[in-house]
Structure 1
Amino acid sequence: MHNGIELNMDMKYMSMMNGSAKSISSGKDEEYVTRVDMILPLGPDEIDCKTYKVEYENTIVEVHLKLMAEKKDDPIITSMLNLQIGTSNKSGLPEMLPLEVFTDNKGVYPSILASLVFPFRIATWVDNNHETGIKMDYDYEEMQVTGGPKNSEKIKALLIINRLLKSLNNSNQLIYEDITAFLEVYFRKGDFRPILSKLTVLASKNAYKNAIYDYYLKNHNRAKIDASLEQLLTIYKDTDINDEISLSNLVNQTIEDFLIHNIEHRRWIEPFWDGERKVNIGENETLIPRLPKNETRIQPTLHVILDMALRPLGVHVLRESDEGVGSLDFRFSYTNKEGLPLSVGVEFKVAHRKKIKHGLTRQLPAYLKAIRSRHGTFVVMWFKDEQYFKEPKDRELEQMLDWLIKEAKKISYELNLSISAKIIDASISPSASNL
């Protein structure tokens, strides 16, 4: 059974060390100094960046707050340069994503760096007796049931940050899920040379999954997305999916009520466009205008949106499933109460592509035959407007939609299929009907 976006949820609490754990496993805690670096989810105007002192466990911990102006100032991202984090090769998403996706500021600067200096060793994971210097006392079988244990070093740092915020009458209080990446650096007292650094990333329950979603839905308000998803789930949670017809109806309604509604009326268009940018060609700086992304770069975002909407309803969304006759863009699968597997297919094209008719009348029917389904949907993304993009030159939106519907009815009749056609207006200047 395919599981749509296979985000490997074992990717939690990934860590990378520079140095040997054995180097800090001997001696007493008070013989060491520990620095913990983390990026705070606070704006530059929410707290003064300077050095503070916070009482903790009968001692004083210094908290240095620094405004990082650019990437080179960021110890988290510079420590991640030898780390590789990717998606499953079955996910339908690019296997390697930029490291900034998995940081707490997502590579956006300025950001506030908190460096907490503990006058003792805080590592609970060191073992004086084990030859590696690392404690090996986790019950991994139990962790498969409960999930990974919470990181005590991270908790100590958050407690101190919250005490500082409270002392400053700052209403912000951080919770465990707010921080997903942090760096521990260990020193011997009196020696400013670090003897060990340990980077921990994906250090919260849903850090990996949220990072993927945020990457493909950047510049969108997650609260509004979640509210829209909750509304959709409320409407369709009791929907009975007994056959292909009901599965196809659910998929089409989700495309209409969630995908099309939010793209056209809430203007979720940014993920589908390349922004205007300047590039150097020879010795000259040239302005490259905004252009729609191609289908290969659009599909991962559509996949994430559809997966977010349909997975809670038990529908799996598989992208680019190889059906032996080519790759179907999206296959939607569901197992009904009788244990019967159901599938419907959806093919996406951009309106300015030349082989629109071939995709509707040849490709999609062939894919449906391969997955033994009679129901499919052909969706076209429209980018043309009067100002930013002029393709296709030979049709306007309403003409394209009328033509698509007629062709879908014709091929459905000829091949005894049920193919519906839809169009999504993702233009920068939408038509008046979508305002």
Structure 2
Amino acid sequence: MTSPATSDSAFTNNSCDTEKIHILDLFAGPGGLDVAAHFLGLESTGIEWDANACETRYSAGLQTIHADVRTMRTERFDELPDNINVLAGGPPCQTFSVAGNGAGRRALTEVKSFIKRLVAREESSETIDEELSALGDPRTALVLEPLRWVMAAIENGKPYKAIILEQVPAVLPVWNVYREVLESGDLPGGVKYRTECRVLHTEEYGVPQTRRRAVLIARLAEHGHASMPDKTHKAFTRPKAETAPTGMATLDEAILKEAEHVERPRANRKEREPWVSMSEALRESSKKLGRSEPYVVVSNYGSGGDPKNRGRRTSDQPAFTVTGKISRNVVETPDGQPLPRFTIPESGILQTFPSNFPWRGRDQAQQVGNAVPPRFGAHLLAAALGLEEGRVAEAIEKMDGWPQISEEERERLRKIGCGDKGKCPTKPPHPQG
């Protein structure tokens, strides 16, 4: 039996008072989780070091701090809003992703040991960072940053009531160690969380692409059980030709095996809807652009590890995972005639951003690819906070359009986020790769 929540808590057992929720989004990017929070009626603040993503955020009216998450934690923690009580984020995934150099994948065993060393607090954080950096890519150390924020909040007397983390599937073993330490009572003050970890498929939540993400959802133990969101759509069956790159099949199988959990039977489970296709998602924008159907998308990545063996999807199927290289995906007619490639707004729609979302700055394709799909984010936030299913449905219905803000409001947010720019990062955050 769970302990009752205190009277000033945002949670009442398995649900929450959304007016008291304020989410801190680490590694916030252009704002996928913040967009989800907006449509759910939740307050959020994002920390993002990339100036281009910050310009998109300011133009979208999202509360932003232009800074390195490490600097904010170690030197500027007291500048954060006092009412933050939920932590979310996805550390940079380049070293863990299939498309990256793989330093993080090769160092998984060591990274898991570092997590336990960090919680033991028997050595300095700097020592752990130095050893992590020696593993091959200093960015690998950033996967520990959310745990450091959890510990900092506890030591500051305000433990986060819920935690939502997501990353590429290769990070699932790391999240499982997070789960161990969050539930162990070894955190400062003996604070405990109830935690779930699993690899989720975004097309099973209405996102028109096959994107797999390792997700961790945690709640303070006194606020009830943590659970993954119910699937709303059917899974897309991957064609046989679309196999994992050479050398990754074994890792993928191991990760997915580790991810397997029997779903708890739930009362009144609804029949799932069909997955959403590219043509269905892009129908309105295609009318404006004059994009004809049907069409075929040829992936930028080779299937089976062969660069010449490009995966192919037809317009009546979900898109491949939207990455920062989506502009390199060839779009053509069924008989091979070239068509215009996906625009930034189209790429954003495939990520479930509103069609009029104000993408700004440079490297917009990379911004789109780095983002959490807002529709997926809404399901994650709702599961973590115990929001009713109807509230999620209402939020998703509103995602067709984004409210436009004035230049004055944009400048106000920029002034808050950057100030005199003296604290804004001018190069990639430490540690550099």
TM-score by length of 1: 0.22
State the structure with more CA Rg: 1
TM-score by length of 2: 0.22
Higher strand share: 1
Identify which of structures 1 and 2 has the higher relative contact order when contacts are C-alpha pairs closer than 8 Å and 6+ apart: 2
